[in-house]
């Protein structure tokens, strides 16, 4: 337990020291939320009256993706490249506890992100409605799916490639994930594609649970659950420790 706590604390400290992680996990989501809530230029679904109503669930999905896919993937990829994972393999820490520590540190970061983003959202006039508690399983499934993707890249690609791929994927999913642009505004084929991706499914689930209007579509749960199983399984199969 002591080793797990120390490892989780170390993971958190290292993340907090990484400027790119702080930017990606906190500054960009907060900035986007504040800017586009106050500057009403983004398209939003017809039934949504205020920008912040649409943006808050989308930005929460973005925050989950940043932490569990981009930040985790890049950090783990470099840990592999620098022989840290190899060296830890020769200590009594063990892979299960290392993985548990990474999961715990992600959970702590996400809780922090949610607190900050929800506080900022309320400050700019957010008024949530809907089956709010459904956001919890949505975030858990989304975290599993994105962490699986992040670790898949980290364990199979060179660290520099992971860095580029994770950032590229981040941008693509930001646009295709219904996070700042509604999926309903995408052309038909692109929309169906986007809804099959974990980002689209997560933002659908969060929009459904945090905004009035019909709850979470079943399709979003199915897609999210499939990614939440498939991505970690693929990562476990393909992960090379050195």
Partner 1 sequence: MHRSDHPAISVSGLVVRYGDVVAVDGLDLHAEAGQVLGLLGRNGAGKTSTVEALEGYRRAAAGRLEVLGLDPQRPDDRTRLARRVGVMLQSGGVYPAMAPGEALRLFASYYDDPVAPSALLERLGLEDVARTPWRRLSGGEQQRLSLALALVGRPEVVFLDEPTAGVDPHGRVAIRAEVARLKAGGVCVVLTTHELEEAERLADRIVIIEKGSVVAAGTPAELTSEGGDAAARGGTGAGGGAGVAGVAGMRFGAPPGLDTAALAAVLGAAVEEIEPGQYRVADPGRPATVAALAGWLAERDLPLADLRTGRERLEEVFLRLTAGDRGGAREEEGR
Query: Closest approach of Cβ 242 to partner 1, in Å?
Result: 7
Residue pair 177/61 in contact by the 8 Å Cβ criterion: yes
Residues touching partner 1, count (CB under 8 A)? 24
What are the backbone angles phi and psi of residue 5, rounded to the nearest 5°? -65, -45
Residue 14 near partner 1 by CB under 8 A: yes
DSSP state of 222: H
Q: Give the binding range for partner 1 (CB under 8 A) out of 55-63, 87-95, 136-144, 166-174.
A: 87-95
18-47 footprint of partner 1 as x/- string (CB under 8 A): x-----------------------------
* Dist CA 92 CA 70 (whole Å): 28
Q: How many CB atoms lie within 10 A of CB 130?
A: 19
Among 28, 42, 48, 78, binds partner 1 (CB under 8 A): 78
Residue 227 makes CB contacts below 8 A (sequence gap 6+) with 141, 145, 148, 149, 197, 198, 201
Residue 89 near partner 1 by CB under 8 A: yes
Residue 204 near partner 1 by CB under 8 A: no
Residue 240 near partner 1 by CB under 8 A: no
* Dist CA 224 CA 205 (whole Å): 9
The nearer residue to partner 1, 51 or 159, going by C-beta atoms, is: 159
* Cα atoms found within 13 Å of the Cα of residue 22, Cβ hemisphere only: 7
Residue 10 near partner 1 by CB under 8 A: yes
User: What residues make contact with partner 1 under the rule CB under 8 A?
Assistant: 2-3, 5-7, 10, 13-14, 17-18, 78-79, 82-84, 86-87, 89-94, 242
């Amino acid at each position: 337990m002591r080793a797990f706590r120390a490892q989780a604390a170390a993971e958190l400290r290292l993340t907090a020291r990484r400027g790119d992680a702080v930017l990606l996990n906190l500054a960009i989501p907060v900035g986007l939320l504040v800017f586009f809530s106050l500057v009403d230029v983004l398209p939003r679904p017809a039934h949504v009256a205020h920008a912040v109503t649409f943006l808050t669930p989308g930005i929460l999905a973005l925050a989950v993706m940043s932490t569990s896919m981009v930040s985790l993937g890049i950090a783990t990829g470099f840990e592999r490249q620098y022989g840290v994972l190899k060296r830890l393999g020769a200590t009594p820490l063990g892979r299960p506890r290392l993985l548990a520590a990474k999961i715990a540190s992600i959970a702590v970061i996400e809780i922090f992100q949610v607190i900050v983003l929800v506080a900022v959202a309320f400050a700019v006039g957010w008024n949530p409605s809907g089956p709010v508690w459904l956001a919890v399983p949505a975030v858990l499934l989304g975290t599993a799916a994105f962490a699986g993707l992040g670790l898949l890249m980290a364990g199979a690609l060179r660290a520099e490639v992971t860095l580029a791929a994770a950032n590229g994927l981040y941008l693509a999913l930001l646009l295709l994930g219904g996070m700042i642009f509604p999926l309903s505004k995408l052309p038909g084929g692109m929309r169906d594609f986007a809804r099959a991706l974990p980002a689209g499914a997560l933002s659908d689930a969060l929009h459904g649970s945090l905004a009035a209007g019909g709850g979470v579509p079943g399709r979003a749960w199915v897609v999210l659950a499939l990614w939440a199983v498939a991505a970690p399984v693929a990562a476990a199969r393909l992960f090379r420790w050195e």
